[in-house]
Structure 1
Amino acid sequence: MKFNSIWSKVKFALGSCFALGLTSTPVWAASKVLQPSDFVGISFWLISMALVASTAFFFLERDRVSPKWKTSLTVSGLVTLVAAVHYFYMRDVWVETGSTPTVYRYIDWLITVPLLMIEFYLILSAIAKVPAGVFWRLMIGTLVMLVGGYLGEAGYMALWPAFIIGMVGWIYILYEIFAGEASKINATSAPASVQSAFSTMRWIVTIGWAIYPIGYFFGYLTGGNPADSAGLLNIIYNLADVLNKIAFGLIIWSVAVSESESKH
């Protein structure tokens, strides 16, 4: 019975990967192929495959953890799943046109970044009763950050005001996880393993998410032509996504396995 359960999980993961592979059909039947000198395009391909592998891993590892951690691992898998699908489209946009896939990038972030914020709420909910206000404050900060960034990158607002709006949203999130109610619940109610994971996660949000405004700055605020800065912008964003999606999920997985195995 256990073998059948594991095999069904394997088939589900393989089916998910196959479905993702179908989405890799070029968005506009691209006539261009990836060139050895296109390091931005190579980064899109590497990360899209890493996201597929991470998705399969997180879904399969749900069998190793206790029920209270399964939702957290599911959300981690959903983050990498959604990101992988969008990366298939983004890499085709880049290879075919050499332009920044801004719309696909922000659609991805609009789904995955709130899910990452939900992870803070979920790991605390697994060990304590957490007020709904924590969830909504994290969501509000996330939306302000994303809307500000998109308005600037898509040309709906001047670059500097949009940048400042996005930074305000990010700072609001940092306050909540370092000094707000979420931080206090973690400090007073969480076991050592959860506190360690929470601490690492919030440092990823601090250092890892700082990579995005750096990319925005070099892509748009240096006074150069954004088209000339597109390569650097996308490499920075792509590297940030590896840290902030895959590594973030691995932290959740680590504490979930540790907590679950300590109960046996």
Structure 2
Amino acid sequence: MFGTLFQSSAVVSTALSVATLAMFATAALAMLGLTWTSERWRVPLALSAVALLASGLEYYAASNIWLAGQQLSAASRYVAWFVVQPMEVASVFFLASIAGKVPVGVFWRTLAAAILMVLARYLGDARIFNPTLGVLLS
């Protein structure tokens, strides 16, 4: 039992399953935390929970795609990042707003930077432009 070697396909599917369970468990804990936190913490906590749920669903879908064909394209990862990044930026903005007034312009600039980061990396990985440029811009 302990001497069994795993095939690489088993390691990938196991890692995706662990990531799925971790995201769902953390999202459940964050949602449970909404019941005992003060009002000012609820918006960033709820946004974090939704981002965790979206990540968990993406890992679940990636696991199913991997198990079906032993291949996984990078496109699903970028779709998840385009969905989750704006929620994470909003969560951090509202979290920072708890400490004091934060100009709305900071939110929009951070959101634009997060989207540019993911878009540049995608365009580089898709070889629409130079991959090194994509990494540097991201």
- Deviation per CA, 1:130-163: give whole Å up to 9, x if none: 1111101111110111001111222322312222
Q: Is the Cα contact below 8 Å between 1:58 and 1:73 reproduced in 2? A: yes
Which residue, 31, 45, 50 being the options, matches 1:59?
31
Counterpart CA distance in 2 for 1:95 and 1:157 is 31
Matches within 5 A, 1:48-197: 48-166=20-138
Q: Secondary structure at the match of 2:34?
A: helix
Q: What percent identity do the matched residue pairs reach?
A: 23
Distance 2:133 2:96 in 1: 34
TM-score, normalization by structure 2: 0.87
The separation in 2 between residues aligned to 1:68 and 1:51, in whole angstroms, is 24
Q: Name the CA distance, whole Å, in 1 between partners of 2:102 and 2:31.
A: 25
CA spacing shift, 1:157–1:98, aligned 2, 3 Å: farther
In 1, distance between residues paired with 2:53 and 2:126?
25
Paired residue type of 2:107? F
- Tell me how far 1:49 sits from its aligned partner: 1.0
Which amino acid is 1:56 matched to? A
Provide the C-alpha distance between the structure 2 equivalents of 1:126 and 1:50, rounded to a whole number of angstroms: 27
RMSD: 1.7
Equivalent-residue separation in structure 2 for 1:58 and 1:40 (angstroms)? 27
Residue 131 of structure 1 aligns with an amino acid whose one-letter code is P
TM-score normalised per structure 1 = 0.47
* Aligned positions, number: 132
1:45-66 per-position Cα deviation (integer Å, ceiling 9, x unaligned): 1110111111111111101111
Secondary structure of residue in 2 paired with 1:126:
helix
Counterpart contact for 2:45–2:91, Cα < 8 Å: no
